[in-house]
Amino acid sequence: MGPTYHLTHTPTVRLVVNEMRIDDRADEALDERLEGLLNALDEIHEAASAGALAQTGLNKAELLGLLNDLIYTAQQTVAEIQNQGADHTGTPTLRLVRKTS
């Protein structure tokens, strides 16, 4: 498991390495899936920027439908999280994820 970054009350970031816990494996699996999603979106963006959407294997209508579904789901998730109110029970965690190419 890589390092976990925690924000402190000062404008600096301190590095805290946690012991491996059972729930960390679930967090890592989610991180991997989210990273895969971001990589796929980046590939679609690069293909669209280069005018090479054919390499995605989807036609324009299918791609637009998929992207609109992703946007809608992300917006709904953000709204639901924001509606839950502030959670002041723990230390906020900042995770830096290196983009793979």
* Buried/exposed code over 8-31 (b: 16+ C-beta within 10 A; e: otherwise): eeeeeeeeeeeeeeeeeeeeeeee
Contact call for residues 17 and 93 (beta carbons, < 8 A): no
- Give the global pTM: 0.55
Considering only the C-alpha atoms of the chain, give the largest distance between any 2 of them, rounded to a whole number of Å. 49
Residues 6+ apart with CB under 8 A from 53: 47, 59, 60, 63
What ranges do the domains of the chain cover? 21-85
What rounded mean pLDDT belongs to the chain? 75
Q: What is the pLDDT of residues 35-83, one digit of tens each?
A: 999 998 998 999 899 998 888 888 889 999 999 999 999 999 988 988 8
Alpha-helical runs (H) found in the chain: 22-49, 60-83
Q: Could you give the CA distance from residue 7 to residue 89 in angstroms, rounded to a whole number?
A: 14
